[in-house]
DNA sequence: TTGTAGGCGTTATCAG
DNA sequence: CTGATAACGCCTACAA
């Protein structure tokens, strides 16, 4: 691989001049400029990102820290960020924390010496991101927090409107005539879980509905959790006629529990998930869900990070994306309910903005 | 962030000595050694990966180029590679090509100047990896090709035993009594598609079965492709009693087509997919599939790359991973077939090594 | 407008 | 065993 010195010799100019034309950091006379560009072209010269990074105290690297790429919600986030990074000449380095705070810290430490321009983080459980990224911010890296926020986060962030999303699903069920609404939430130390629960409660309250405490089940964001808590809910008397699952994995587990209990969805019980993953299309029945664009989440975060690289002292931005209620086959009016308001099982996908 | 010079001053030794204790590149007397380590500890010093990379002509970066992280097969590959990378002190940079050869070349070019120690690639369609990675190999980067191989690939590689996997599924169906077997393959310019088809044909031939040419449908590795081709197959006379789909997405599409045709799986028609994705567990019926460990694919590739970083001149390795036939609810004996050999619908997951 | 030279933080070579 | 010192490739004052 050629270096600047060789380009300089080839073009018959000095090394500094080469740098100037490459970075457009000084006006260079056209003939020289041309010779340099020509030399670059023929040699296929590319500047060393390492040397440049060392010199500039910053590399064209965007680091992304997520819980686990195996969780089907995250690939979209990563892809969104990578697309924006790539089209701006940045590379994406990916780190999985498994929601382990210790691993998060290790990644944060290890990444620092690569001097990434930006850092996009989905904080792990009990993350103390604010403190842990202090050194990054001091070093001039843009830190963007997404999906959920750690305590006291005062930097840039991108989240979705969790409360409104959950509320829209809840209202929809209520509109269908449901009065016995249960909710299975994710871990309530996570802000997104909290907000979804808030939305659920708000919608219930607005409809004058009382939600008994045992209709509110907290669990992990996975199938096993949804399965276990749905089993509990299904044994209650009165049995809930509808369940809001706070993500699609929980909904999947709930669906299994419903089937195992000999019940039918949506005839006996309605179910709405959250996230709108692709796999909601391939279940039987197709799962209704509060859709959010994981891709846009990642893309927006990357853009935010790059923006801040450009202009350091811009005011902090907190972007909140919208959700979209996607009704498929897993919801219907409650069984034998005299108060039924809406029609029976919707068969086609309908979109309802939230 | 402290640098070596400061550590040296703090420890009252020379800069060279610090480097020596840090890299264990010379025996340093214990008292000095101790002072250096102490200085490192108190300052939280970490060596600059940029400076180190510049000097050593190589960074602790592993680059991974895949078609698209949104395709549910790839997150496992990425996670496997990241885990191995991380636990060896390497970072993973991720690139998506969308199977676009041009994008592959762009990523290859852009990554080069980061001097990654290794490069793990799932080649794009019509990739000319052998030529494109020449410069990497010359520069001392380990290049490992996985999942599918481009023409004339003579470097390290990790693949799975596609032929045996497909053959085991095919034989299983034949054992169940099926005589009208169809196959929906992925794009036949890909080596993995080719090999799966070979396995299918081999198993059929060994059973003395004739497969009519129109029972063999080629398409893209996605749901739309599987749906379209299955529709065609289901209209044929005689209608196939079993379909081998060469990946799970194709199988998903086929399942939809079967349902839409008013047929039942597995009573009317058996279906086996390939890959063994998680989503095969949440379909109705649960989908049988030839499982392969995407995680192991990625992890093995990363290990291979790191191994080669250690020992440059080791002979080329071509690792072939095994598959595992996972029979779930989507297979049964053919309808009203007097030649039935095995029992009817298996209800429990059975594992059959291939 | 162009060239020169110092330094970013390491590693590695070579004296002492 | 330890300490100077020269690169690695690039950017950027500063000088010409």
Residue B329 forms part of a structural domain: no
When CB atoms are compared, the residue of B111, B114, B279 closest to A279 is: B279
Is residue B143 within 8 A of residue B133, CB to CB? The reply is yes
Provide the whole-model pTM.
0.93
Strand D bases with any atom < 7 A from protein Cβ: 1-5, 7-13
The pLDDT score that the predictor gives to residue B341 is 39
The pLDDT score that the predictor gives to residue B336 is 78
Domain shared by A72 and A151, yes or no: yes
Mean pLDDT of chain B: 93
| pLDDT above 70: percentage of residues in chain A | 95
Is the per-residue pLDDT at B249 higher than 50? yes
Is the per-residue pLDDT at B1 higher than 90? no
When CB atoms are compared, the residue of A69, A282, A283 closest to B79 is: A69
* DSSP summary character for residue B323: -
Domain shared by A102 and A29, yes or no: no
Residue B340 forms part of a structural domain: no
CB contact under 8 A, B91 and A72: no
Residue A131 forms part of a structural domain: yes
More confident residue, B174 or A343: B174
Domain shared by B77 and B180, yes or no: no
The pLDDT score that the predictor gives to residue B352 is 52
* DSSP summary character for residue B186: -
Domain shared by A170 and A284, yes or no: yes
CB contact under 8 A, A61 and B282: no
Helix (H, G, I), strand (E, B) or coil at A235: coil
Residues 6+ apart with CB under 8 A from A60: A49, A53, A89, A90, A91, A117
The pLDDT score that the predictor gives to residue A339 is 41
The pLDDT score that the predictor gives to residue A313 is 84
Name which of B49, B141, B283 to mutate to probe chain A: the one with the most chain A Cβ atoms within 10 A of its Cβ: B49
The pLDDT score that the predictor gives to residue B151 is 87
Domain shared by A153 and A186, yes or no: no
Using alpha carbons, list the distances in angstroms from residue B69 to A71, A118, B106, B162.
12, 21, 18, 21
Tokens standing for residue A93: 């380095």
A77 to chain B: closest CA residue: B70
Residues 6+ apart with CB under 8 A from B235: none
**What would the pLDDT profile of B38-89 be if each residue is shown by its tens digit?**
999 999 999 999 999 999 999 999 999 999 999 999 999 999 999 999 999 9
**What would the pLDDT profile of A150-166 be if each residue is shown by its tens digit?**
988 999 999 999 999 99
**What would the pLDDT profile of B305-314 be if each residue is shown by its tens digit?**
999 998 888 9
Q: How far is Cα B123 from Cα B157, in angstroms, rounded to an integer?
A: 11
Domain shared by A167 and A277, yes or no: yes
A11 nearest nucleotide via C1' and CA: C2
Mean pLDDT of chain A: 93
When CB atoms are compared, the residue of B59, B92, B96 closest to A82 is: B96
More confident residue, B113 or B311: B113
| Bond before A155 cis per omega within 30 degrees | no
- Residue A104 maps to which CATH number? 3.40.50.2300
Residues of chain A with C-beta less than 8 angstroms from the C-beta of B298: none
**What would the pLDDT profile of A138-149 be if each residue is shown by its tens digit?**
999 999 999 999
B90 to chain A: closest CA residue: A110
CB contact under 8 A, B94 and A95: no
The pLDDT score that the predictor gives to residue A1 is 77
A49 CB closer than 7 A to any strand D atom: no
Assign B172 a pLDDT band (cuts: 50, 70, 90): very high
Domain shared by A173 and A151, yes or no: no
Residue A353 forms part of a structural domain: no
Is the per-residue pLDDT at B348 higher than 60? no
Is the per-residue pLDDT at A61 higher than 90? yes
Residue A29 forms part of a structural domain: yes
Residue A354 forms part of a structural domain: no
Q: How far is Cα B17 from Cα B15, in angstroms, rounded to an integer?
A: 5
Q: Protein A80 CA to nucleic acid C12 C1', in Å?
A: 42
B54 to chain A: closest CA residue: A50
Q: Mean per-residue pLDDT for B284-301? A: 97
Is the per-residue pLDDT at A173 higher than 50? yes
Q: Protein B61 CA to nucleic acid C12 C1', in Å?
A: 22
The pLDDT score that the predictor gives to residue B16 is 92
B28 CB closer than 7 A to any strand D atom: yes
Q: How far is Cα B217 from Cα B181, in angstroms, rounded to an integer?
A: 12
Residues contacting nucleic strand C by the 7 Å CB criterion are A 13-17, 20, 26-29, 31-33, 51, 54-55; B 1, 3-5, 15-16, 19, 22-23, 25, 45-48, 51-52, 54-56
Is the per-residue pLDDT at B349 higher than 80? no
Q: Protein A16 CA to nucleic acid C4 C1', in Å?
A: 9
Distance from CA of A213 to the nearest CA of B (A): 30
Residue B267 forms part of a structural domain: yes
Domain shared by A95 and A150, yes or no: yes
Question: Nearest residue to D7, CA vs C1'?
Answer: B55
Question: Nearest residue to C3, CA vs C1'?
Answer: A14
The pLDDT score that the predictor gives to residue A351 is 52
B324 phi/psi in degrees, rounded to 5 = -145, 120
Domain shared by A179 and A279, yes or no: yes
More confident residue, B346 or A75: A75
Q: Mean per-residue pLDDT for B333-344? A: 58
> Range of A222's domain?
162-292
Residue B172 forms part of a structural domain: yes
The pLDDT score that the predictor gives to residue A352 is 52
Tokens standing for residue B143: 């290049």
Last residue of a domain, one of A292, A312, A331: A292
Domain shared by A171 and A93, yes or no: no
| pLDDT above 90: percentage of residues in chain A | 91
Is the per-residue pLDDT at B353 higher than 80? no
More confident residue, A257 or A1: A257
Domain shared by A193 and A312, yes or no: no
Is the per-residue pLDDT at B347 higher than 60? no
Task: Please classify residue A340 by burial: count the beta carbons closer than 10 Å to its beta carbon, then call 0-12 exposed, 13-18 middle and 19+ buried.
Answer: middle
Q: Protein B177 CA to nucleic acid D4 C1', in Å?
A: 82
**What is the count of structural domains for chain B?**
3
Assign A340 a pLDDT band (cuts: 50, 70, 90): very low
**What would the pLDDT profile of A221-230 be if each residue is shown by its tens digit?**
999 999 999 9
Domain shared by A308 and A287, yes or no: no
């Amino acid at each position: 691989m050629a270096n600047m010195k060789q380009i300089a010799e080839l073009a018959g100019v000095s090394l500094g001049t080469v740098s100037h034309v490459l970075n457009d950091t000084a006006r260079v006379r056209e003939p020289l400029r041309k010779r340099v560009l020509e030399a670059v072209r023929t040699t296929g010269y590319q500047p060393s990102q390492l040397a440049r990074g060392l010199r500039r105290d910053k590399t064209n690297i965007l680091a992304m820290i997520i819980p686990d790429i195996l969780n089907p919600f995250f690939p979209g986030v990563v892809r969104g960020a990578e697309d924006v990074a790539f089209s701006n000449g940045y590379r994406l380095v990916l780190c999985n924390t498994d929601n382990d705070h210790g691993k998060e810290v290790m990644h944060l430490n290890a990444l620092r010496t690569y001097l990434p321009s930006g850092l996009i983080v989905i904080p792990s459980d009990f993350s103390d991101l604010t403190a842990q990224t202090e050194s990054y911010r001091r070093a001039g890296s843009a830190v963007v927090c997404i999906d959920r926020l750690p305590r006291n986060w005062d930097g840039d962030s991108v989240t979705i409107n969790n409360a409104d999303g959950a509320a829209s699903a809840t209202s929809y069920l209520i509109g269908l005539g449901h009065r016995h609404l249960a909710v299975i939430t994710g871990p309530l130390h996570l802000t997104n879980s909290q907000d979804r629960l808030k939305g659920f409660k708000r919608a219930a309250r607005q409809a004058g509905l009382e939600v008994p405490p045992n209709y509110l089940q907290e669990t992990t964001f996975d199938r096993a959790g949804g399965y276990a808590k749905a089993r509990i809910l299904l044994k209650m008397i009165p049995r809930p006629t509808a369940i809001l699952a706070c993500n699609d994995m929980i909904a999947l587990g709930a669906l299994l529990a419903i089937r195992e209990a000999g019940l039918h969805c949506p005839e006996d019980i309605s179910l709405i998930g959250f996230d709108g993953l692709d796999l909601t299309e391939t279940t039987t029945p197709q799962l209704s869900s509060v859709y959010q664009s994981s891709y846009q989440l990642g893309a927006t975060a990357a853009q935010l990070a790059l923006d801040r690289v450009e202009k350091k002292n811009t005011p902090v931005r907190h972007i909140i994306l919208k959700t979209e209620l996607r009704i498929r086959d897993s919801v219907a009016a409650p069984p034998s309910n005299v108060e039924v308001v809406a029609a029976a099982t919707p068969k086609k996908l309908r979109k309802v903005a939230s």
